[in-house]
Protein backbone atom coordinates (compact mmCIF):
# COMPACT_ATOMS: atom_id res chain seq x y z
CA UNK A 1 0.00 0.00 0.00
CA UNK A 2 1.13 3.59 -0.51
CA UNK A 3 2.21 6.09 2.12
CA UNK A 4 -1.31 7.54 2.04
CA UNK A 5 -2.37 4.69 4.29
CA UNK A 6 -2.12 6.30 7.73
CA UNK A 7 -4.00 3.81 9.90
CA UNK A 8 -2.01 0.81 11.07
CA UNK A 9 -3.03 -2.38 9.26
CA UNK A 10 -3.82 -4.08 12.56
CA UNK A 11 -6.58 -1.52 13.19
CA UNK A 12 -8.39 -2.09 9.89
CA UNK A 13 -11.82 -3.45 10.74
CA UNK A 14 -11.59 -2.23 14.31
CA UNK A 15 -14.93 -1.98 16.09
CA UNK A 16 -15.44 1.36 17.79
CA UNK A 17 -15.70 1.10 21.56
CA UNK A 18 -16.42 3.90 24.02
CA UNK A 19 -15.45 3.35 27.63
CA UNK A 20 -18.07 4.19 30.19
CA UNK A 21 -21.01 3.54 27.89
CA UNK A 22 -24.00 1.94 29.55
CA UNK A 23 -24.68 -1.74 28.93
CA UNK A 24 -28.39 -0.96 28.80
CA UNK A 25 -30.51 0.42 25.98
CA UNK A 26 -29.84 0.30 22.24
CA UNK A 27 -26.49 -0.97 20.98
CA UNK A 28 -24.43 0.13 17.96
CA UNK A 29 -21.52 -1.70 16.34
CA UNK A 30 -19.33 0.26 13.89
CA UNK A 31 -16.40 -1.23 11.95
CA UNK A 32 -13.97 1.14 10.25
CA UNK A 33 -11.65 0.59 7.30
CA UNK A 34 -9.47 2.92 5.27
CA UNK A 35 -7.82 6.21 6.18
CA UNK A 36 -7.99 8.35 9.28
CA UNK A 37 -10.95 10.27 7.85
CA UNK A 38 -13.02 7.08 7.96
CA UNK A 39 -12.09 6.44 11.58
CA UNK A 40 -12.86 10.08 12.42
CA UNK A 41 -16.26 9.79 10.73
CA UNK A 42 -17.03 6.73 12.84
CA UNK A 43 -16.49 8.92 15.90
CA UNK A 44 -18.92 11.48 14.48
CA UNK A 45 -21.53 8.80 13.87
CA UNK A 46 -21.07 7.49 17.41
CA UNK A 47 -21.51 10.99 18.84
CA UNK A 48 -24.74 11.51 16.92
CA UNK A 49 -26.19 8.13 17.87
CA UNK A 50 -25.12 8.44 21.52
CA UNK A 51 -27.49 11.40 21.77
CA UNK A 52 -30.21 9.09 20.44
CA UNK A 53 -29.68 6.63 23.30
CA UNK A 54 -27.25 4.22 21.64
CA UNK A 55 -24.12 2.82 23.27
CA UNK A 56 -21.28 0.89 21.64
CA UNK A 57 -20.89 -2.86 21.97
CA UNK A 58 -17.87 -4.99 21.04
CA UNK A 59 -20.18 -7.92 20.36
CA UNK A 60 -21.65 -7.96 16.88
CA UNK A 61 -24.35 -10.42 17.92
CA UNK A 62 -25.75 -7.99 20.53
CA UNK A 63 -26.06 -4.96 18.26
CA UNK A 64 -29.33 -3.30 17.35
CA UNK A 65 -27.62 -1.48 14.50
CA UNK A 66 -24.42 -2.39 12.61
CA UNK A 67 -22.41 -0.18 10.27
CA UNK A 68 -19.34 -0.73 8.12
CA UNK A 69 -17.50 2.48 7.25
CA UNK A 70 -14.97 2.49 4.41
CA UNK A 71 -13.81 4.40 1.35
CA UNK A 72 -13.94 3.50 -2.33
CA UNK A 73 -10.23 3.81 -3.10
CA UNK A 74 -8.90 1.40 -0.48
CA UNK A 75 -7.42 -1.77 -1.95
CA UNK A 76 -10.11 -4.45 -2.33
CA UNK A 77 -12.54 -2.18 -0.49
CA UNK A 78 -15.67 -3.37 -2.26
CA UNK A 79 -14.95 -7.04 -1.62
CA UNK A 80 -14.08 -6.35 2.02
CA UNK A 81 -17.39 -4.57 2.58
CA UNK A 82 -19.37 -7.25 0.77
CA UNK A 83 -17.76 -9.99 2.88
CA UNK A 84 -18.52 -8.14 6.11
CA UNK A 85 -22.11 -7.48 5.07
CA UNK A 86 -22.59 -11.19 4.43
CA UNK A 87 -21.34 -11.90 7.96
CA UNK A 88 -23.72 -9.31 9.42
CA UNK A 89 -26.65 -10.74 7.51
CA UNK A 90 -25.88 -14.30 8.55
CA UNK A 91 -26.00 -13.20 12.19
CA UNK A 92 -29.15 -11.19 11.52
CA UNK A 93 -30.87 -14.18 9.96
CA UNK A 94 -29.87 -16.74 12.60
CA UNK A 95 -29.47 -14.80 15.85
CA UNK A 96 -30.75 -11.23 15.72
CA UNK A 97 -33.56 -10.68 13.17
CA UNK A 98 -34.23 -7.11 14.36
CA UNK A 99 -30.66 -5.98 13.66
CA UNK A 100 -30.35 -3.07 11.22
CA UNK A 101 -27.42 -3.12 8.77
CA UNK A 102 -25.91 -0.11 7.02
CA UNK A 103 -22.99 1.13 4.92
CA UNK A 104 -21.34 4.47 5.69
CA UNK A 105 -18.88 6.60 3.76
CA UNK A 106 -18.00 7.51 0.21
CA UNK A 107 -18.60 3.99 -1.07
CA UNK A 108 -22.28 4.50 -0.27
CA UNK A 109 -23.03 6.67 -3.33
CA UNK A 110 -21.40 4.34 -5.84
CA UNK A 111 -22.88 1.08 -4.56
CA UNK A 112 -26.20 2.13 -3.05
CA UNK A 113 -28.37 0.44 -5.70
CA UNK A 114 -26.31 -2.73 -5.71
CA UNK A 115 -26.29 -3.16 -1.93
CA UNK A 116 -29.89 -2.06 -1.35
CA UNK A 117 -31.87 -3.37 -4.30
CA UNK A 118 -29.83 -5.97 -6.20
CA UNK A 119 -28.07 -7.88 -3.45
CA UNK A 120 -30.32 -6.74 -0.57
CA UNK A 121 -27.41 -6.70 1.86
CA UNK A 122 -28.30 -3.53 3.78
CA UNK A 123 -31.20 -1.62 5.27
CA UNK A 124 -29.63 1.82 4.85
CA UNK A 125 -26.90 3.61 2.92
CA UNK A 126 -25.48 6.85 4.29
CA UNK A 127 -22.94 9.12 2.61
CA UNK A 128 -20.21 11.05 4.48
CA UNK A 129 -22.15 14.32 4.50
CA UNK A 130 -25.45 12.84 5.72
CA UNK A 131 -24.63 11.55 9.20
CA UNK A 132 -26.83 14.16 10.87
CA UNK A 133 -29.77 12.48 9.13
CA UNK A 134 -29.08 9.11 10.76
CA UNK A 135 -31.86 9.37 13.40
CA UNK A 136 -34.42 9.98 10.63
CA UNK A 137 -33.02 7.20 8.46
CA UNK A 138 -33.14 4.75 11.36
CA UNK A 139 -36.80 5.68 11.91
CA UNK A 140 -37.51 4.99 8.24
CA UNK A 141 -35.98 1.53 8.44
CA UNK A 142 -37.80 0.80 11.70
CA UNK A 143 -41.03 1.63 9.84
CA UNK A 144 -40.18 -1.02 7.26
CA UNK A 145 -38.62 1.12 4.52
CA UNK A 146 -35.15 1.14 3.01
CA UNK A 147 -33.29 4.38 3.76
CA UNK A 148 -30.79 6.28 1.61
CA UNK A 149 -29.07 9.64 1.96
CA UNK A 150 -25.93 10.15 -0.10
CA UNK A 151 -26.35 13.87 -0.78
CA UNK A 152 -22.99 15.63 -0.82
CA UNK A 153 -22.41 19.02 0.79
CA UNK A 154 -19.59 21.54 0.46
CA UNK A 155 -20.60 23.15 3.76
CA UNK A 156 -20.88 20.12 6.07
CA UNK A 157 -17.90 19.81 8.44
CA UNK A 158 -19.58 18.54 11.65
CA UNK A 159 -17.55 21.25 13.34
CA UNK A 160 -19.69 21.53 16.47
CA UNK A 161 -20.05 17.80 17.08
CA UNK A 162 -17.76 16.72 19.92
CA UNK A 163 -15.84 13.58 18.93
CA UNK A 164 -15.94 10.51 21.10
CA UNK A 165 -12.58 9.23 22.31
CA UNK A 166 -11.62 6.18 20.27
CA UNK A 167 -8.59 5.57 22.44
CA UNK A 168 -10.70 5.73 25.57
CA UNK A 169 -8.08 7.77 27.42
CA UNK A 170 -10.03 11.04 27.45
CA UNK A 171 -7.07 12.83 25.86
CA UNK A 172 -6.70 11.78 22.23
CA UNK A 173 -9.26 12.18 19.47
CA UNK A 174 -9.29 12.88 15.74
CA UNK A 175 -9.55 16.54 14.68
CA UNK A 176 -10.65 17.33 11.13
CA UNK A 177 -8.41 19.86 9.39
CA UNK A 178 -10.37 19.43 6.19
CA UNK A 179 -12.81 16.82 4.92
CA UNK A 180 -12.36 14.72 1.83
CA UNK A 181 -9.79 12.55 0.12
CA UNK A 182 -6.34 13.71 -0.93
CA UNK A 183 -7.09 12.53 -4.45
CA UNK A 184 -9.08 15.78 -4.67
CA UNK A 185 -7.52 17.83 -1.85
CA UNK A 186 -3.77 18.27 -2.15
CA UNK A 187 -2.97 20.80 0.58
CA UNK A 188 -4.28 21.91 3.96
CA UNK A 189 -3.35 24.61 6.44
CA UNK A 190 -2.13 23.00 9.64
CA UNK A 191 -2.10 25.05 12.84
CA UNK A 192 0.52 23.82 15.30
CA UNK A 193 -0.25 24.40 18.97
CA UNK A 194 1.95 24.34 22.04
CA UNK A 195 0.30 24.53 25.47
CA UNK A 196 -2.87 25.83 23.83
CA UNK A 197 -1.14 28.64 21.90
CA UNK A 198 -0.57 28.74 18.17
CA UNK A 199 3.14 28.68 17.45
CA UNK A 200 3.24 28.05 13.72
CA UNK A 201 1.05 27.71 10.63
CA UNK A 202 2.21 25.56 7.72
CA UNK A 203 0.91 24.72 4.29
CA UNK A 204 1.40 20.98 4.05
CA UNK A 205 0.62 18.11 1.71
CA UNK A 206 -2.67 16.62 2.93
CA UNK A 207 -1.30 13.07 3.10
CA UNK A 208 1.42 14.27 5.47
CA UNK A 209 -0.84 16.31 7.79
CA UNK A 210 -1.29 13.52 10.32
CA UNK A 211 2.46 13.05 10.74
CA UNK A 212 3.05 16.62 11.95
pLDDT at residue 68 tops 60:
yes
> Domain residues of the chain, as ranges?
9-149, 182-212
Distances (CA, A) of 66 to 16, 44, 136, 202: 11, 15, 16, 39
Q: Which residues contact 72 (CB under 8 A, 6 or more apart)?
A: 78, 106, 107, 110
List pLDDT tens digits, range 135-153: 999 999 999 999 999 998 8
**Dihedrals phi, psi of 163, to nearest 5 degrees:** -75, 145
List pLDDT tens digits, range 76-131: 778 888 999 999 999 999 999 999 999 999 888 788 999 998 999 999 999 999 99
Q: What is the rounded (10 degree) CA torsion for 212, 69, 57, 139?
A: 130
| Beta pairing class for 100-104 and 65-69 | parallel
More confident residue, 187 or 87: 87
Give pLDDT, residue 201: 45
Give pLDDT, residue 55: 93
Average pLDDT over residues 189-202: 46
**Overall fold of domain 9-149:** Rossmann fold (3.40.50)
Average pLDDT over the chain reads: 78
Residues 159 and 72 sit within 8 Å (Cβ to Cβ): no
Q: CA nearest 64: which of 18, 26, 104? A: 26
Indicate yes or no: pTM above 0.95: no
Give pLDDT, residue 108: 82
Give pLDDT, residue 13: 81
More confident residue, 155 or 5: 155
pLDDT at residue 40 tops 70:
yes
Give pLDDT, residue 6: 53
Amino acid sequence: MSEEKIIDASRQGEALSIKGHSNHGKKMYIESYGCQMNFSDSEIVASILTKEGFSTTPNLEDADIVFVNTCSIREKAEQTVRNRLKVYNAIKKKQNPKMLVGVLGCMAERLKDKFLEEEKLVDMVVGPDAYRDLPNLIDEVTDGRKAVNVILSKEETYAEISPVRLGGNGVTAFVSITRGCDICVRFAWCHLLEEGKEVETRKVSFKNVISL
